[in-house]
Amino acid sequence: MISYALKRIIRSWKLFAALLLGMTLATTFFGGINVAADTIGKQFVDQQLSTSPIDFTLNPNGPLPSITSINIVRSKLVALDGISHVEAQGTLSDVRNFTLPQVRAIEDSSLAWNHMSPNIQLAKSQALEFENGNYAVGQNLTYTISGYPPSQNYNITLKIAGLVHPDAYAQSFLGLGFGFRGPTPGGLSVSPYYQNVLIVSWERTFVPILQSTSGIMNPSGMSSYIDVFLDRNRLITPWDVSGSATTVKGISDKVANIASQNGFAENDLITNQLQGLGQAIFFLRIPFLIFSIPVIFIAWYVGKTVSQASYNLRRKEIGLLMTKGFSRTQLYRHFITEAVLIGLISGAIGLALAYLLNPLFISVLNGSYNGGVFLNLTTAAMTVVFALFLTLLAIRSPASQAAAMDPAQALREYVYLEDVRPSKKRGAIAAFSLGLYKIILLTLGINFLVLGGRGFSYGFLIAILFAVLAILDLGLTFVGPFLFLYGAVNLSSGLAFRFHRLFSKISQRLIGDIATLSSKSVFRNPRRAASTVFLVALIAGYSIWVIGDLASMEDYTARQTLTRVGADIRISNLSGLSNATTIVRQITGWTNVTAATPEVENWFNTPSQGAQMRVRAVDPTAWPNTAYYENGWFSTSPRTLFDIMKGDNSTIILERAVATHYDIKEGGNVTIPVSSGTLVNLRVIGFFGPDYSSSSSPFTNPFGSSFFQPLGWSYVPLGVVGLHPTFFAAPQYSVLVKAKNTSTDKLASSIQDAYPLTSVQSSSPSSASQNGTNSIFSGLLNVLRLGTIFAAAAAGIGVGTVAYTGFKEREKETTMISVRGLSYRQLLGLLITEVLPLVIFALVLAAVVGIITVRGDTLALDSLSNQDFYALLSPRRIAFPVAEQAILSSIIGLLLLGVFLPAIFSARKNLSKVSRTVRFA
C-alpha cells in the first residue's frame, strides 16, 4: 500500500500539491519559531552564564589546607564525569596595611590567563599590576603575614614586573570590584574594575609562602580555595535547562561529598541559576507557541478544504478502486498512508526552510543572529511530528467522507463530494449569536471587566451578574469575532448569492451576458461557496484584527512616551531656574536642536481638604514650539491661549477636570495659596486635559465610596514667578528639548555627556524597549505579524485549490462554451466572476468585523487605564501606518492570486483543448 500511495503521489502530484504547500507553510512557521526560540534560548543561557564562569568553589572549613590536601582534592574532582577543569587560587593581603593591593595567586594553566594580556609566566616573587594602578613597574612591595605570637610574622617582598589588562570574563573570574575574593565570587562588573589587584604565580610564589607559613598558628591575610568548572557544552542543553539543572545538581552533590571528606565546604554557583533559566526559557517558548495557534488553525482548515477538493477530483479513481474490491476500510487506510507520506515530506521541507530562514525568525523574535543556527534533534523531531499530525488531522474528515462514497455515484460525472442536503443551522445560529453579542460589546466599547469592579455600587446581585458577564466576555475576547464570521457566512448564503448576482450584472459590461452563468455555477455547491467565503473572511479578518491591534499598540506606545516625557527630550534633576535657563541658552545653539524651553512644576492645595493639584510654569513663547501636545488637549488653539499668557502673567490654563469639579468657568478666578501664605488670584483663560471628574479615581472604593483627586496639571506663565517670588515652595526644574533631523537617543546621549549631573529622558520608543521583558513582548507581537503572512499564503493556496476544483469539474462545460465562440477574455472573465465576488464579499465582511474588533479592543484597553492621566490624555486610537497597509495589501494580493492564477491557467488550458479539437477534427 505504501508503494502504491507513493506512486500515486508522484504521478498525480498536482492533486497533492496544495495540501503539501499548505502543510509546508505551517511546518515552516512552527519549525522556524521553535528553531529561533532554541537559538535565542542558547544565546540567553550563554549570556547569563558568562557572568558566572566558575561553577563550584571549595573553601577550607578550618585552617589553611596543605598543598598535599589541595592536590588530593583536585585529583578526585578531575576524575568525576562532567568536570572539565579544576584549579586552585589563593589570596594574600596585609591586614595591618590596607593601602597595599590584594594579591591573587593563579596557576600557570588558569583559564584567566586566556582573558588577560599579556599572558606570561611569572617568576618567583614577581607580580603583575592591573593597569591604572598606583605603583610603578619595578617597585617593591612588602607584605606581612601576621601570626600569633607576633614573633611568627612572615614577610614577603613582591616586585611589580608589569601591567596586565583583564577583559570582562577575567574580571568576573577573579571577582573584581566586589572586595576581597571569598567563598562566593562576584559577578561581572557593570563598570570598569576599580579594585587594585596584583597577580602572582601560584606555583612559584604562593605555594612556597603556603609551605613557609605552615608552622604559623592562625596566619591572617591568607586564604586558598579550589574552583571547579563543568563541561557546560555537554551538560547544559538550552532546550532542556531544567533537566540540565538536575544533572548538574547530581555532580554538585558528588563534589560536595569529596569536599566534606577532605575538610572543604562546597559552594554551588550554577544550579540555582540553571533552575531560574529553565523557568525563564519555558515561559519564553510557551507564548510563542500560543501565538502560533491561529496560523496552525488556518493551516488545518486550509488542509481540510483542499483535501475535500482533491478527493472530489478523484471520485472516478475512488469508484474504480471500489469496483476492484477495495473495502471502505482499505480505501480509508490508503488515504491515511498518502497523508502520512505528505506529512513526512512537508515536515522535511518545512524543517529545511525553517533552518534556512532562521535569521528571519531570529530577527522576528528580537534575537541576534551570529551566523550559527541551533537545531537540536528534539526540535527537528517535534517539527516533523507536528507536520504529520496536522496533515492527518486535516484529511481525517474528508478521507472518511470520500471512503464512504457510493461507487455508482462516484463514477458519475457531476456528483460532488460535499453533502448538498440542507445542513442543520443550530451550530451556526449559536456561533452567530455569541459572536454578535461580542461584536455589539466591541461596537459600544463595553468592558465588563471594568464594570464588574463597580458592580457593588449597584447592589450584590448586579455585581454577581457583572462578574458572570465578565467571564463570558473574557472567553469571547479571542474567539468571538471568529464565531461571528462562521455564523454569518453559514447563515448569509442568500445575501452572498444576491451580492454575486449584483457583481455579475456589473461584469456583463466587460464579458457580456455570459456573466450570468457564473452565479448559477458557483452556487451549485453552496457548501463549497460557504467554505471559500469563510476561509477568506477568516484570514482577512484575523489579519486586520492582529495588524490593527499591533499598529494601534505601537502608535499608543510612541505617543505615550512622548506624552510622559513632554517633548522629544526632557532634562531634569536641575538645581534651579538659572541652571535651566543656562542649559536652554547653550543647547539652542546646537545644530541638531530646534528649540528648548524651561519648565517648573510644583504642587498646591485645592479648596478640598487633602487634595492637591499640580501647576507647571512655562515660557508662553517657546513652549508651543518645543513641547509635545495633541489636538483636543486644550479647549481652544494652544497658540491662542499662550499668546494671551504672553501679555498677562496672572492667567492660568486650568485642568479641565478641576474646573468641572469646582464649577469654575472660563474667565473666572482661581486662588492659589503660595508658600509664604499669600493668596494669588489667577484668571482662567482656557482648559487643559480630559474631564475625568465624574469617573472613578485612584481612591475609588469597590463598595461605592470615592472622592475627587486631581490627576493632571495646569499651566501658568513663567512670569508669575517674577510677580510672586515665593510662588513655588519646592519646585522641580526641567528643560524640554525638540530634536532636529537626528535620533533622539543620540541627542539624549550627547546631552547626558555634556551635562553629566542631570537626568536625561528620551521619547524614543526604542529606548524604552531595551530591557528583556519589553524585548520578549515585542517578539511575541512580531510572531503575530509574521503569522498573518504565513496564514494568508496558506489561505491563498486554499482559495486557489477550491477555485481550480470548480473549474476542473466544469472543464467540459467551459470547453463546449468556448467552441461556440467564447473569446479568451470572455472565458477568463467568466471564470474570475465565479469566485471573485465571493472573495470580495468575504473581504467586506472581514473588514467590518476586523475594524470593529480593533476599535473595541482600543476602547476596552482604555477603560482599564482610567486612573492614569497620561492614558486619559493620549488614549488609544485606530492606526494603520503605511507599513501595516502594505502588509494588508500583500495579504489581500495573496488571496486574489488564489482567484486569478487558477482562472488564467484553466482558461488557457480550455482554449488549448479547443484549438487541438478544431485542428484534428
Q: Which residue type, as a one-letter code, is found at position 175?
A: G
Please give the C-alpha separations between residue 207 and each of 175, 384, 665, in angstroms, as whole numbers.
21, 58, 87
Are 604 and 688 part of one and the same domain? yes
Residue 902, preceding peptide bond in cis (omega within 30° of 0): no
pLDDT-derived band at 424, boundaries 50, 70, 90: low
Are 574 and 560 part of one and the same domain? no
pLDDT-derived band at 516, boundaries 50, 70, 90: low
Q: Quick one: pLDDT at residue 17? A: 81
Q: Which residue type, as a one-letter code, is found at position 531?
A: S
For residue 201, pLDDT beyond 50: yes
Mean pLDDT across 216-236: 86
For residue 706, pLDDT beyond 60: no
Mean pLDDT across 496-509: 74
Q: Quick one: pLDDT at residue 202? A: 92
Query: Which of the two residues, 864 and 65, has the higher pLDDT score?
Result: 65
Mean pLDDT across 334-355: 90
- In 3D space, the residue among 781, 391, 744 whose CA is nearest the CA of residue 570 turns out to be 744
Mean pLDDT across 521-538: 78
pTM recorded for the entire structure: 0.72
End residue of a domain, out of 762, 792, 809: 762
3-class DSSP string for 581-617: HHHHHHHCCCCCEEEEEEEEEEEEECCCCCCEEEEEE
Q: Is residue 90 part of a domain?
A: yes
Three cell numbers written together for 683:
484668571
Are 699 and 813 part of one and the same domain? no
pLDDT-derived band at 451, boundaries 50, 70, 90: low
| HSE value, Cβ hemisphere, 13 Å, CA-based, for 451 | 20
Mean pLDDT across 160-171: 85
Q: Is residue 284 part of a domain?
A: no
Are 110 and 137 part of one and the same domain? yes
Are 144 and 248 part of one and the same domain? yes
Q: Between the ranges 31-35, 145-149, 724-728, 772-776, where is the mean pLDDT highest?
A: 31-35
Q: Is residue 360 part of a domain?
A: no
- In 3D space, the residue among 769, 793, 768, 764 whose CA is nearest the CA of residue 782 turns out to be 769
Three cell numbers written together for 92:
594574600
Q: Is residue 553 part of a domain?
A: yes
Mean pLDDT across 286-293: 75
Give the least confident one: 68-72, 468-472, 692-696: 692-696
Q: Is residue 528 part of a domain?
A: yes
Are 583 and 605 part of one and the same domain? yes
Q: Quick one: pLDDT at residue 848? A: 92
In the β-sheet with 732-739, what is the strand arrangement from edge to edge?
669-673, 679-688, 651-655, 713-717, 612-618, 593-605, 732-739, 569-572, 759-762
For residue 768, pLDDT beyond 70: no
Are 735 and 787 part of one and the same domain? no
End residue of a domain, out of 733, 762, 791: 762
For residue 462, pLDDT beyond 70: yes
Residues spanned by the domain of 186: 53-269
Query: Which of the two residues, 673 and 224, has the higher pLDDT score?
Result: 224
Three cell numbers written together for 343:
506529512
> Contact 224/154 with Cβ under 8 angstroms?
no
Q: Is residue 423 part of a domain?
A: no
**Into how many domains does the chain fold?**
3
Are 506 and 526 part of one and the same domain? yes
Tens digit of pLDDT for each residue in 864-894?
Answer: 766 688 888 988 888 888 888 898 999 899 8
Are 94 and 227 part of one and the same domain? yes
Q: Residue 204 gets which letter from DSSP?
A: I
pLDDT-derived band at 423, boundaries 50, 70, 90: low
> Contact 795/539 with Cβ under 8 angstroms?
yes
Q: What whole-number percentage of the chain has pLDDT above 90? A: 24
Query: Which of the two residues, 920 and 727, has the higher pLDDT score?
Result: 727
Are 124 and 214 part of one and the same domain? yes
Are 679 and 797 part of one and the same domain? no
Distance of alpha carbon 817 from alpha carbon 813, whole angstroms: 6
pLDDT-derived band at 766, boundaries 50, 70, 90: low
Q: Quick one: pLDDT at residue 772? A: 44
Please count the residues of the chain: 921
Distance of alpha carbon 670 from alpha carbon 651, whole angstroms: 9
Q: Quick one: pLDDT at residue 449? A: 67
Tens digit of pLDDT for each residue in 363-397?
Answer: 776 666 566 666 778 888 989 999 999 999 999 98
Q: What is the mean pLDDT of the chain?
A: 81
Q: Is residue 34 part of a domain?
A: no
Are 529 and 571 part of one and the same domain? no
- In 3D space, the residue among 394, 476, 376 whose CA is nearest the CA of residue 430 turns out to be 476
End residue of a domain, out of 226, 253, 269: 269
Please give the C-alpha separations between residue 40 and each of 28, 56, 64, 362, 366, in angstroms, as whole numbers.
18, 26, 44, 7, 9
Tens digit of pLDDT for each residue in 652-666?
Answer: 999 999 898 888 899
Mean pLDDT across 891-910: 84
For residue 771, pLDDT beyond 60: no
Query: Which of the two residues, 471 and 551, has the higher pLDDT score?
Result: 551
Q: Quick one: pLDDT at residue 176? A: 67
Q: Is residue 358 part of a domain?
A: no
Mean pLDDT across 593-613: 80
Q: Which residue type, as a one-letter code, is found at position 783?
A: V
For residue 775, pLDDT beyond 70: no
- H runs (alpha helix) in 271-327: 271-291, 293-313, 315-323
Q: Quick one: pLDDT at residue 623? A: 94
Query: Which of the two residues, 649 and 424, has the higher pLDDT score?
Result: 649
Q: Residue 570 gets which letter from DSSP?
A: E
**Alpha carbon 142 to chain centroid distance?**
57
Radius of gyration of the chain (CA): 38
